[in-house]
């Protein structure tokens, strides 16, 4: 499994979500299916709204699914748990730990911002992925 860490120094409250939107859009435009994982319902709702407005002219077809919902057909799906138990193409992880379904993904994208606690949690996940034998890449982004 390939794991890419996208790291921004920006600690603004919405910076991580804006970056997640850009990454989800990039994956969608490239023809990939993405499951965006977060354990925070409010964060998922905020991301759901932001995906409609984060960039002029941008369109990312997506669905917000509840834990008991059937699988969604949209190329980008937001939720706390993946519906079904089949393989996944991309998991974009916003949660503080590695989701239990991450091992089903071909690729995991981790989004880390300038928040000290999220950075520390990201380091823990990086080490865990390394111990799992994952192919790791880090992408340091400039503050926008």
Domains, in order of start, for the chain: 2-141 (3.40.50.10110)
Q: Read out DSSP for 111-137?
A: EE-S-HHHHHHHHHHHHHHHHTT-EEE
Query: How far is Cα of residue 36 from the mean position of the Cα atoms in its chain?
Result: 4
pLDDT of residue 70: 65
Q: Does the pLDDT of residue 5 top 70, yes or no?
A: yes
Q: What is the pLDDT of residues 120-143, one digit of tens each?
A: 999 999 999 999 999 999 999 976
Q: What is the pLDDT of residues 74-84, one digit of tens each?
A: 999 999 988 77
| Token pair of 29 as six digits | 């435009």
Q: Does the pLDDT of residue 104 top 60, yes or no?
A: yes
């Amino acid at each position: 499994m390939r794991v890419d860490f996208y790291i921004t120094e920006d600690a603004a409250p919405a910076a991580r979500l804006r970056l997640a939107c850009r990454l989800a859009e990039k994956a969608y435009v490239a023809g990939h299916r993405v499951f965006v994982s977060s354990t925070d319902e409010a964060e998922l709702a905020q991301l759901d709204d932001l995906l409609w407005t984060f960039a002029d002219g941008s369109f990312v077809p997506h669905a917000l699914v509840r834990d008991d919902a059937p699988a969604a057909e949209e190329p980008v799906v937001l939720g706390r748990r993946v519906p079904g138990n089949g393989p996944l193409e991309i998991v974009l992880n916003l949660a503080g730990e590695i989701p239990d379904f991450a091992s089903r993904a071909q690729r995991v994208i981790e989004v880390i911002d300038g928040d000290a606690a999220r950075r520390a949690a990201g380091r823990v996940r990086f080490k865990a992925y390394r111990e799992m034998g994952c192919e790791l890449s880090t992408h340091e982004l400039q503050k926008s």
